A and B are shown apart, each in its own frame.
Chain A
Amino acid sequence: MQNFKALLERSVAPNVVLALLMAFPVAKAQTAPSQSGAQKEHKSAPAPKHDISGTWDPGDNGIGQLGARAVPEDGDPAHRLPYTPAGLEALKLNKPSNSVRAVLPAETNDPVVTCDPQGMPREDLYEMRTTQIIQMPEKIFVLYTFGKVWRVIWTDGRELPKDPEPRWFGYSVGKWVDDYTLVVQTAGLDERSWIDRAGRPHSDALHVEERFHRVDRDHLELIVTLDDPKMYTKSWTALDKLRFDLQPPNFDVREMLCSPSELAEYNKLIGTPASEKSKK
C-alpha cells in the first residue's frame, strides 16, 4: 500500500486509470437493479454440463493494474517470478507506467498504452471486465470488453498447429476434462506483447493454459497458468480462480476501445506536461 501511495504522488497514470474507472463504472452499476445485487443472496442452481456460455462479470477483480493478479508487481518477494537470465534481460527492457517498476507516462514503452493489441494472455490479465462467452458445436467465442476483441477456442478436436505464424492472440484449442471444466491451450503467440500490465516478458515459446470452471449456474472461475522455458525456469499461475458472476443475457457491454488520437490529446494536455513537471 505504501508503494502504491508513492506511485500516486509521482505518476499521473493511476489517476488516469481512476478517471477511466469512474467513466466506466464496474458492471454492477449498469445492470437492472434487482438482478445482480440480489444474486449473492439468491441460492444458485446446479451448473449446466459442458456449458460456460453467458455474459460474465468479474467486478473490478480483473483489472490487474499491478500485473497478473496472482503475482502483482508490488515489491513483495513472494511475487517475484522465476526468471531465466534471458527473462530478466527482457524484463529490464519493458518500462511499464504502473507497478513498482513504473516510469513516467512520457517514458513508458508499454505497447498497449499506444494501442497495440493486448494479445494473449494479457487480454485475460489486464482490464479483464465483462466477458461474453458464446458456445457453438465446434468452437467457443470469447468476447472481451477491452478492445472489443473476440477470440476463438476450437473444441472440434484439432491439434495446435506446429510452428505456425505467430499471432497476437495465438491459436487456441479446448477440451472438457470433466462436466464443468474446459481446459484451453494457447500457443503461437507473437512475442512483442507483454504478459501483463507490469511488463512481464514472454518469448515465442510461451504456452498458456486456461481453466474455465463452471462452479454453479451463476458462477464461473478462471485460472491462467503460463509456461515459457526461455523466460521462466518453471510454470507459474498468473490468475488464480478469478470469479465471474452471470449477468442477464440482455446486458449491453460498455464500449472500451484504445484510440491513438485520444492518447495524443491526453499526452498533449496532461501526460507530457506532468512528466516534465516531475522531472524538475
Chain B
Amino acid sequence: MLDRLIDARLVILGLLLASAAAQAAPQSAPQKDPKPPAATSRPIDVDGWGRPVSGPPTARSFPPALRHDISGTWEPAGGPLDGVQFNGSKAYPEDGKNDREPPYTAPGRKLWQGNKPSIGSRGVVPAEANDPVIACDPQGFPREDLFQLRSTQIVQTPVSVVILYEFDQIWRVIWIDGRELPKDPEPRWFGYSVGKWVDDYTLVVQTTGIDERSWIDNVGRPHSGDIRVEERFHRVDHDHLQWTVTITDPKMYTQPWVALDKLPFYLQPPSMDVREMICSPSDSAEYDKLIGNPASEKAR
C-alpha cells in the first residue's frame, strides 16, 4: 500500500510541476527547470480508487450556477479537513482558544455539562467520554453536518434531493415534492426532511422529528426532540456551493444559532470515488485495548 501511495504522489508531483510550468508560460515551451511546489501548497490527496484528487479550481471566474441544481461531488474548499469540526460546530468552537457558547437555556446548559466529549476545552480521557458516536451510535442529524463533513455527493431526482455522506457512508433524503413535515412522527436519528427552492440557486431544507439521544456536534451540544434544523444550500456558481446550518430548539437554546455558516465547497469531477469511512465497534475495541485504555490509565 505504501508503494502505491508513493507512486500516486510521484504522479501528482508530476502533474503539479506540469501545471505550474503551463501557468508560468502558457504560450511558450515548458520551463526547463520547474520549481518544486511551494511549502504552503495544498496537501496532496488521493480518492478511494487511488487516483489523485484535484484541488480547488484556480480560475478567476467560473461559469454561472445551474438553476435549481446542487448536484455533484462536493469537496470542502478550505481543505479536506475543513468540515471535520473536531472542536464542535464550526461557528461555535469549543477549543480552549476561541470558545463561543451557544445561547443555552438552563436545561440546555445542564445537559451540555453532562455530555463529556473526548476533545476540545472540556475533553476528557477516552475511557471517561460518553460520546455515543465513539461507540458507533449513528451520528444522526444535524451532527452528520457538524462533525466529519467531508466529500459529499448530492444527487437530485424530480421528487427528492439525496445527500450521500462520506462519514459512515450514510444517505439521507430530502423530499422536494411539496409534502409537509409529519406532525408528531416517530423520532428518527436523521429525522424527516423537506426542501424548497427559495430562488433559482438556493435550496432551504427543514428537518424535524429527530431522536433526542444524539449530540448536535462533537463537543456535546445537546438537543431536545423538538429541535428544528434549517439548512441552506446555495449554488454560488457552477463550481461552488455553500452550506449553512441553523439550529432552533427553544427547550435548549434561548434563540436560534448558526452552527455552520456558509461552509464553502468546490465541485469535483463525477469520476471521483469517495473514500470509505465507517465506524466499526470492533475497530474501536481494538483501539481501546491497545491505546485508549492504557493512555487513560496513564493520564490518571
Tell me the A residues contacting B by CB distance below 8 Å.
111, 114-117, 132, 134, 136-139, 141, 143, 148-152, 154, 156, 158, 161, 163-165, 167-169, 171, 192, 249-250, 252-253, 255, 257-261
Contact = CB atoms under 8 A, between A and B. Distances in A.
B282 A259 contact: no
A208 to B, nearest CB: 16
Contact of B276 (A132, A138, A143, A167): A167
B135 interface: yes
Interface SS of chain A: loop
B4 to A, nearest CB: 8
Nearest to A171: B49
B169 A161 contact: no
Given A154-B49, A154-B273, 17 more contacts: A115-B136, A116-B281, A116-B282, A132-B171, A134-B155, A134-B157, A138-B271, A148-B171, A152-B273, A152-B274, A158-B49, A164-B50, A165-B1, A250-B179, A252-B175, A259-B137, A259-B138
Interface stretch (B27-35, B97-105, B158-166, B242-250): B158-166
Given A149-B171, A150-B164, A138 B270 contact: yes
Interface of B: 1, 4, 48-50, 132, 135-138, 153, 155, 157-160, 162, 164, 168-173, 175, 177, 179, 188-190, 192, 213, 270-271, 273-274, 276, 278, 280-282
B271 A261 contact: no
A153 to B, nearest CB: 11
B170 A150 contact: yes
B135 A261 contact: yes
A260 B278 contact: no
A192 B1 CA distance: 19
Nearest to A149: B169
A169 B192 CA distance: 27
B137 A261 contact: yes
A126 to B, nearest CB: 16
Given A148-B170, A165-B1, A167-B276, A141 B282 contact: no
Contacts of B278: 117, 149, 168
27 contacts: A114-B282, A116-B280, A116-B282, A117-B169, A134-B155, A134-B157, A141-B162, A149-B169, A149-B171, A150-B171, A151-B169, A154-B49, A156-B271, A167-B276, A168-B276, A169-B276, A249-B158, A249-B159, A249-B160, A250-B160, A255-B189, A257-B138, A260-B135, A260-B137, A260-B281, A261-B132, A261-B135
B145 to A, nearest CB: 15
A137 B48 CA distance: 19
Contacts of A249: 157-160
A149 B173 contact: no
B270 A117 contact: no
A257 B158 contact: no
B135 A255 contact: no
Contact of B169 (A132, A169, A261): A169
Contacts of A139: 270
A147 to B, nearest CB: 8
A150 B159 CA distance: 19
Contacts of B168: 149
Contact of A148 (B1, B158, B190): B190
A117 B169 CA distance: 10
Contacts of B164: 141, 143, 150
Contacts of B158: 249
Contacts of A165: 1
